Amino acid sequence: MTPNPAAPLLLFDSGVGGLSVLGKVRALLPQAPVMYVSDNAGLPYGTKTEAQIAARVSGLLGRLTERFRPRLVCIACNTASTIALASVREVLEVPIVGTVPAIKPAAAMTQTGVIGLLGTEATIRQGYVDRLEAEFAAGKRLLRHGAPELVAAAEAKLRGQPVDAAVFARAAAALRAMPDGERIDTVVLACTHFPLLEAELAQAFGPGVRFVDGSDGIARRIAFLTAGQAWERSPQGDLALFTNDDPADALLGPALARYGLTQRLVF
């Protein structure tokens, strides 16, 4: 069945982290209508249980797809994807693209064989990450650190609020303090919030460290799944939906507009 040209790509995240994915999607598919959904009422996901996350994500995406009829759903959140991707695919009848830690490209990039992984506390403990490590980083050393402070830092940065540089120093120091941590030359940003902070993290880690995330691969996958489809964007711009009416979200206006999201509603 040919999608309605105005049917959007739905990008879902716990907050504004998925904007790092949207930026890459825009580069490949500039004419695609997009609906960006921030579950700010549920933020942060990283401190929740697997059962809470799976139920929340499945329920929200079920209601969103029923109401807005997107042509494709992208779960632009590592935590939600590693926990809920399979269950969401079982209940939704639209293509689903998830976000997983970029361990495979990191393993190909590293020269020292020691890779750092920064994610939420929920992501780094998942068996999904264990399987990625076993499949793609066998013979390498993968050091994981849960850095919830970085989620809050990215949210603050996009609102134009000050962020203490010590947040980035602590994340770098935690990985460096692990066995062989001083040999880290590649860091996986396993939360979509974290690429929004790459410049600050690069300064904290110092020279000789490269960063990798999954956003390029996600954008290519979305482009592949929608190849040949017609697009029709609204002249008013694209829509950002929030699950909580937080007055502080008004501060996101300029950041959202940079990604073409000029309309903001509460779902």
The residue from 37, 72, 77, 240 that is catalytic is 77
Kindly report the number of other CB atoms within 10 A of residue 173's CB atom: 14
Is residue 74 part of the annotated active site? The answer reads no
The residue from 191, 197, 201, 218 that is catalytic is 191
CA 195, 196, 198, 199: dihedral to nearest 10 degrees? 160
The three-state (H, E, C) secondary structure of the chain, written as one string: CCCCCCCCEEEEECCCCCHHHHHHHHHHCCCCCEEEEECCCCCCCCCCCHHHHHHHHHHHHHHHHHHHCCCEEEECCHHHHHHHHHHHHHHCCCCEECCCCCHHHHHHHCCCCEEEEEECHHHHCCHHHHHHHHHHCCCCEEEEEECHHHHHHHHHHHCCCCCCCHHHHHHHHHHHCCCCHHHCCEEEEECCCHHHHHHHHHHHHCCCCEEECCHHHHHHHHHHHCCCCCCCCCCCCEEEEECCCCHHHHHHHHHHHHCCEEEEEEC
Is residue 191 part of the annotated active site? The answer reads yes
- Name the residue among 61, 60, 59, 51 with its Cα closest to residue 83: 51
**Which residues participate in catalysis according to the annotation?**
77, 191
